Copies of this chain bind each other. A is one copy, B any other.
Amino acid sequence: MRAEIITIGDELLIGQVVDTNSAWIAEQLNAYGIELYQITSVHDSREHIIAALDEAFGRADIVLTTGGLGPTKDDITKHVLCEYFGTHLIKDQRVRAHIEQLYKDRPDVLNRLTATQWLVPANAEILENRVGSAPLMVFHKEQKILASMPGVPYEMKIAMEEQILPYIGRTTVNILHKIVQVTGIAESSLAILLDEYEASMPSTLHLAYLPKDGIIRLRLSSYGELSESEMQTWFDRLKDLTKDYLLTDTDEPLEVIVGRLLQAKGATISTAESCTGGKLGVLLNKHPGSSAFYNGTVVSYATSVKEQVLGVSAELINVHTVVSEEVARAMAEGVRKLMRTDFAIATTGIASATGGYTKDEVGTVWIAWATPEDTYAECFHLGKLRDQITDRACIKALIGLLKIINQKS
| CB-CB contacts below 8 Å: A113-129 with B | 113-114
Supposing A288-B386, A298-B296 touch, asked if A219 and B281 sit within 8 A by C-beta, the answer is: no
Q: How far is the CA of A91 from the CA of B298 in the complex (A)?
A: 53
Contacting A72 at CB < 8 Å: which of B26, B209, B268, B304? B209
Q: Does A188 lie within 8 Å of B15, measured CB to CB?
A: no
Contacting A23 at CB < 8 Å: which of B15, B268, B309? B15
Supposing A154-B383, A297-B297, A301-B296 touch, asked if A309 and B13 sit within 8 A by C-beta, the answer is: no
| CB-CB contacts below 8 Å: A65-119 with B | 70-75, 106, 108-109, 111-114
Interface segment, A34-42, A225-233, A368-376?
A34-42
Residue A187 CB within 8 A of the other chain? yes
Supposing A12-B23, A288-B352 touch, asked if A191 and B301 sit within 8 A by C-beta, the answer is: no
Q: Does B10 lie within 8 Å of A109, measured CB to CB?
A: no
Q: Does A388 lie within 8 Å of B188, measured CB to CB?
A: no
Number of copies: 2
Q: Does A281 lie within 8 Å of B295, measured CB to CB?
A: no
In the complex formed, the residue of B with least CB distance to A385 is: B154
B-contact bits for A320-343, CB 8 A (1 contact / 0 none): 000000000000000000111000
| CB-CB contacts below 8 Å: A175-214 with B | 177, 186-189, 191-192, 198, 206-212
Determine the chain B residues whose CB is within 8 A of the CB of A48 once the complex forms: 37-38
In the complex formed, the residue of B with least CB distance to A294 is: B301
* Nearest CB in chain B: distance from A405 CB, A: 20
B-contact bits for A47-65, CB 8 A (1 contact / 0 none): 0100010010000000000
Interface centre among A48, A52, A291 (most CB of B within 10 A): A291
Q: How far is the CA of A201 from the CA of B275 in the complex (A)?
A: 48
Q: Does A38 lie within 8 Å of B42, measured CB to CB?
A: yes
Residue A30 CB within 8 A of the other chain? yes
Determine the chain B residues whose CB is within 8 A of the CB of A44 once the complex forms: 208
Determine the chain B residues whose CB is within 8 A of the CB of A22 once the complex forms: 12, 15, 18-19, 41
Q: Does A192 lie within 8 Å of B113, measured CB to CB?
A: yes
Question: Can you pick out 13 interface pairs between chain A and chain B where the beta carbons lie within 8 Å of each other?
Answer: A11-B210, A13-B39, A18-B20, A22-B41, A37-B43, A38-B52, A40-B41, A152-B211, A278-B285, A285-B299, A291-B355, A296-B298, A304-B339
